Structure 1
Amino acid sequence: MVFSVLLLFFSCRAQSTANQKTIIEVNTLSEFKNYLNQDNVHVKLKAGNNQIDDAQKIRFIEITSNNSYYDLRDVRFMVDTKLFSRDDLIKSNDGNSMYCAIEISGKNTTLEGLYIETYGDTPGRQSKNKIFNIVGEDVTLKDVEVRTTGSSPWGYGYLYGLGGNDVRKMNGIRVGYPAKNVKLLGCKVHMRAMGHAIFLQGAENTLIENCQVDGLLRTTDAMLAETSGYGFDKKFYAGKGNYIEGTIVAEDGKILPGEIISLSEDGIRMYPDYKGHETKNTTVKNCTVTQMRRGICTGLSTSGDMVIDCVVRDCVATGYNVGNEDTLINCSADAKYGEAFCIPYTNAKNAKVEMTILDSRHGIANNLLAKINGTGHQVVIKTKSSEYIPDSMFIKLSVWEGYGNFNEKATMHATEIKLDNQTETEVITFNGTENLDVKSVGKVREATDSENVINESNRTKR
């Protein structure tokens, strides 16, 4: 019996040793690239700075290996933005013309520890530029830090178009079809360019955990004070009039004082699909987003996503954009510059939201705490201090105001909603609110006739 146990022990130990990959240590980026298409390798690049100022393809570095681990702790990549404007680079055969610094495909591949940033002010040839493009299966990006520059025009956010016209973006991390079971763990994205920080297109079963995103805000007063530059040359007329992603401009497009914008786009965002392949089953856990346009945007994906223990601060369009079947557990946000959360879509059903309102004082250009449209939602709104929410803020149901509702022919409604408002904020129900089950510390009232007229007029001002 003892002999059998010992034999089993040494057999298991031998198998374990055999399964451990020998660590390959390399000193230069050139040496490192030799292993990017090799399976079953464990490669460690020497700590230090590495310049990326030349490439052969529009995906500057391609990691295509399976079952491999790349240790880039204490390594820095500096990527020249001029590469994103090169028209002589080899195109991809996947039908997507995007430029990116690093693409990871293959299966069961991990990249850990890299700091990567773009430098220079050269705008790319397109609006789809990005740092990472992840399209593999069981890929893990761990403790990676990204800093983006190189968008054009810079300093005006989304006021001059969202990818059209002459806008050239620099996004952070994309997870896209055919990606499955991708994990972003402990990653940081510092947005110093127009674009999304982390976004998904057609990916399935993505986990985004312990990640941080930050951007920059700017007041329209600062823009209007310019005496030269892109906005000055356009006489401070935006790309269109009325409401632009959280910012109000005049009907003729004139930029107004007293407003605020994010210089980037969304912090963590799901697109509904990529060429017909749906974005499904995303979990966002213990993440923080600050000073972006929208903080965490799951609303455009209809599969029902999970957002757990997340914090959003100082976002302009909304803190959380919530959609069909989404579940938010123990999440928090302020409403300084835009609503803390919204369920904006009339076709959204059965969302569950548990939201703690953070200190929302000393903001500008916003008096909407939350908006709720759609059917069958269960919503709990609370705060640790009543002083955190100004008296001028409201919770509104069946409204066009704020982000969303781009179908002007939609029938605005909020039906079969269960709302537990544990704050002193007033709840206003507009036309289309039916069968509301409400428990509220704050006053609950129906909108006046004049308020309903104003709400209806907002449908044509998207």
Structure 2
Amino acid sequence: MKKVSSIIIILLFFCSNLNASEIKISSLKELAKYATESEHTITMAPGVYKLTDLLTPEILQERRANKQYQYITFSGSNNVFNLEGVEIELDTEIRTVLNPPIHSDEFLVSGSNNSFLGLTIRCIGQGTSLGGTVLQVAGEANSLKGITLYVSGSYPYGYGDLFGKGKQKETTIKHRKHSALLVTGNETKLYRCKIYNRSFGHCFFIQQNPKNVYFEDCYAEGEMRSTDDVLAETSGPAFDVDFKTWTQNREGEYVVTSGYMKSLCEDGFRTYGECENITFKNCIAKNTRGGFELRFNKALLENCETIGTERGYWIGDDTVVKNCKGDANYGPLLFVEGSNVNVDLIVDAAESDRLVHALATIQGENNTVVLRSENETQRQADLPILLGYTHPEHGEAMSPFGQAETTNLNLINATGMSIKIGEQAKNSIIKTNGEIIENKGMHVKVTKR
């Protein structure tokens, strides 16, 4: 019976692929052609392909006139694109010539049930546009495996969000963003995808409320710069606005403050809106603004890590964080903004000489938070865990914390770090091996571990 079942499975697999044709290609023109068709297995010869060979000056002028802003649109369905060893060199001057509207995508996957294997896209040049994304996955049930993006092409680059993020009226320098990979399609799955971001924009981000998006073994990397280095400038965009920021510092002034570290990109993994069933497994964010900023979503994170971020995990309602890890090297490890969360975080002992004001802030209802040290190796410098406190405005490390109600919290602190309990914390249980430096809460039971 087992042998018969195996034969049936093989026959079904064979029949399902009868209509799929196997095609070998060796140019971007061919890739663009088959991107619009369906039921193919396309294998592209390894090599570096220049996008300017496909989008010549004449074609760019024609596309701009026709308002065709995407470089290649994968509108077909049920395809397999074998792109191992294929690198597309994306000259960002193309964006300048096309001058697309804000939030335009460059490579767009609008078809469904496609698999992409091994593609690398590398940005070069100094071009910018109003804001856009290298790659958007909009169709349903597409999978990306081993995709790598090297992103550049924003203005100004070198300040992160010190001077604003875009449309906000408080913005002191107008930005031209360039983000990496946007997911808007249901059932999108990403495996072993990597983003090296040298642009002001997000790495991986999700919009338009897709369902069942899955990330596994994905990596997001930005780079950091000290505010002291920014303040040393004697010319340029920051100097021209007298280093005026869009958020106030802890002294109430709107100015760049020395002693901090800023990421030059936006978030490593970011969600917008209410996305259903989002999963991150074995993913890493390094030197990004936020590692995992999932504020208004129910999400599952398992075995994830943040390294040298401005803030590690920013989570909302009903989120589960299992056996994850991160440091507070340049900013807080954790902001709990929602309710009914379950967090288990390992605190890496890494430290720096940069100003950091808290290990975590916790607000909301019915939360369970476990913070522990790795192999019992604790930080040397104390960073308080703040209960009944909010994240600082816009998450900016230079800005002060607010206060908010925290009820029915179950906190286990095995980090040795101190705890500060605000006056809006109540009806909670705390087990800690760190000092209680202040307790203004009501009905908060504290026991030593």
The TM-score range, normalised by the shorter chain, is 0.7 to 0.9
Aligned to 2:444: none
Distance 1:280 1:15 in 2: 32
Cα distance change, pair 189–389 in 1 and its aligned pair in 2 (3 A): same
C-alpha distance in 2, partners of 1:115/1:123?
20
Match of 1:340 among 327, 333, 352: 333
Distance 1:88 1:307, change over 3 A: closer
Tell me how far apart the structure 1 counterparts of residues 299 and 10 of structure 2 sit (CA, whole Å): 41
Determine helix, strand or coil for the equivalent of 1:133. strand
Offset of residue 18 of structure 1: 3.8
> Is the aligned partner of 1:349 residue 2:339?
yes
Aligned residue for 1:435, secondary structure, equals strand
User: Are positions 1:305 and 2:299 aligned together?
Assistant: yes
Q: Shift in Å at residue 282 of structure 1? A: 0.4
What does 1:25-424 correspond to in 2, within 5 Å? 25-53=24-52, 54=55, 55=60, 56=63, 57-87=68-98, 98-124=103-129, 126-127=130-131, 129-164=132-167, 166-176=174-184, 179-201=185-207, 202-238=209-245, 240-243=246-249, 251-272=252-273, 278-301=274-297, 304-316=298-310, 318-343=311-336, 345=337, 348-384=338-374, 387-400=377-390, 402=392, 412-424=404-416
Query: Offset at 1:400?
Result: 3.5
Shift of 1:402: 3.3
1:19 partner letter: S
Paired letter, 1:83: I
SS of residue in 2 equivalent to 1:170: strand
Q: Residue 73 of structure 1: SS of its match in structure 2?
A: coil
Deviation sequence 1:127-158 (CA, Å, 0-9, x none):
3x111111111011110000111100011111
Q: AA paired with 1:42?
A: T
Cα 1:255–1:109 change in 2 (3 A) is same
Supply the AA of the counterpart residue of 2:267: D
Deviation at 1:259, TM superposition (A): 1.6
Aligned length: 416
CA distance in 1, matches of 2:391, 2:72: 44
Give me the whole-angstrom Cα distance separating, in 2, the residues matched to 1:77 and 1:363: 40
Alpha-carbon distance in 1 for matches of 2:293, 2:236? 32
Task: Provide, for residues 388-431 of structure 1, a one-character-per-residue CA deviation record: whole Å limited to 9, x for no partner.
Answer: 3234311111114536689x9x9711110000111211111011
1:58–1:98: 8 Å Cα contact kept in structure 2? no
TM-aligned CA deviation for residue 175 of structure 1: 0.6
Distance 1:83 1:42, change over 3 A: same
Unaligned stretches of 5+ in structure 2?
A: 168-172, 442-449
Deviations 1:14-60, CA, capped at 9 Å, x for gaps: 55434333421011111122111111110011111111132532121
- C-alpha distance in 2 between matches for 1:290 and 1:12: 43
- Whether contact under 8 Å (1:361, 1:388) holds in the other structure is no
Closer/same/farther in 2, CA of residues 9 and 426 from structure 1, 3 Å limit = closer
- What is the TM-score normalised by the length of structure 2? 0.87
Q: What is the rounded CA distance, in whole Å, between the counterparts of 1:366 and 1:11 in structure 2?
A: 61
- Give the distance between the partners of 1:293 and 1:88, measured in 2 at CA: 27
1:85 counterpart SS class: helix
Gapped runs of 5+ residues in structure 1?
92-96, 273-277, 450-462
Which has the higher mean CA deviation after the structures are superposed, 437-446 or 366-375?
437-446
| Alpha-carbon distance, 1:235 to partner | 2.5
Counterpart residue type for residue 141 of structure 2: D
Q: Secondary structure at the match of 2:430?
A: strand
Q: Helix, strand or coil: the match of 2:34?
A: coil
1:319 is aligned with what amino acid?
G
Cα pair 1:140 1:182 within 8 Å, conserved: yes
Identical aligned residues as a percent? 25
User: Which letter maps to 1:261?
Assistant: K
Per the alignment, residue 454 of structure 1 pairs with none
Contact kept, 8 Å, 2:423 with 2:440, in 1: the verdict is no
Matched, 1:435 2:407: no
Query: Deviation at 1:208?
Result: 0.8
Task: Give the conservation status (yes or no) of the 8 Å contact 1:25–1:44.
Answer: yes
Q: CA deviation at 1:447?
A: 4.3
Q: How many Å separate the matches in 2 of 1:14 and 1:333?
A: 48
State the AA in 1 paired with 2:416.
E
The one-letter amino acid paired with 2:244 is Y
Question: Following TM superposition, by how much is the alpha carbon of 1:448 offset from its aligned partner in structure 2, in angstroms?
Answer: 6.9
CA contact (8 A) 2:282 2:304 kept: yes
Q: Contact conserved, 2:290 with 2:309, CA < 8 A, in 1?
A: yes
